[in-house]
Amino acid sequence: MKTLNIRYFQHVSFEGLGCIEKWAQLNGHKLTSTKFYEDAYLPDINNIDWLIIMGGPMSAYEEDKFAWLKEEKKFIRQAVENGKTVIGICLGSQLLAAALGAKVYPNKEKEIGWFDVELTLDGKDNKLFKEFESKFKVFHWHGDTFDLPQGAVHLAQTDNCKNQAFLYKDKVLGLQFHFEATEQTLADMVENGKSELANGSFIQSEAEILNSRNYIEANNSKMFEILNRLSQVE
């Protein structure tokens, strides 16, 4: 595996790379970041191999509140057009979908907690998810959803939210859920998002979320496998 220059976009202090940071360190990759809550410095597109876009409580369409969103989406589109490997997680997947021309909008209900995600037929056959179980528990924290970008392959869904994962041109991956969550990032999200843990059909309590930490290891293992497989795509 060659050494990669990985740039990640972080939108709030409590939603970092999670286990992706460990994977990068274990494989000797170089990590640099743009932290939009501190500054909006964007790199030279020619100096990165991968772009990873993390989550956050804002919406992809809130450009009036977060001025940097417009330039961020423009850069994401540029990264895709330049053949970079791009991964969007939660808000990151919504920004990726928007950058590819798809609509992002509020889902009918928020989805917060550990819920099953099910692979589509294309997901089961896809090289990134091949040999995964057809249904498995993942951590969700989102109120928005998106239409599938034109030309993208639909990989996963839940009862509450149809578009949970997609792949575009073999190396551009959107994940609505959090494979990357560690015990620390899970605790950080709960601590900073307690106000959202209200009554809802797909909203778990703080105790339910934190008492399901036994799923983290399997989720992180899947994240590692996907990252390894993406690193083999030319």
Q: Which residues are identified as catalytic?
A: 90, 178, 180
Tell me the C-alpha distance between 27 and 21, whole Å: 10
Tell me the C-alpha distance between 129 and 148, whole Å: 18
Q: Is residue 45 classed exposed, middle or buried when 0-12, 13-18 and 19+ CB atoms within 10 A define those classes?
A: middle
Sign for the pseudo-dihedral over CA of 148, 158, 92, 203: positive
Tell me the C-alpha distance between 81 and 67, whole Å: 23
Within 10 angstroms of residue 123's Cβ, the number of other Cβ atoms is 23
CA distances from 93 to 27, 131, 153 (A): 24, 23, 14
Angle subtended by helix axes 216-230 and 19-26, to nearest 10: 50
Task: Give the dihedral of Cα atoms 34, 63, 182, 152; nearest 10 deg.
Answer: -100
170: left (phi over 0), alpha (psi -120 to 50) or beta: left
What are 40's two structure tokens? 């909006």
Instruction: Give phi and psi for 208, each to the nearest 5.
Output: -60, -40
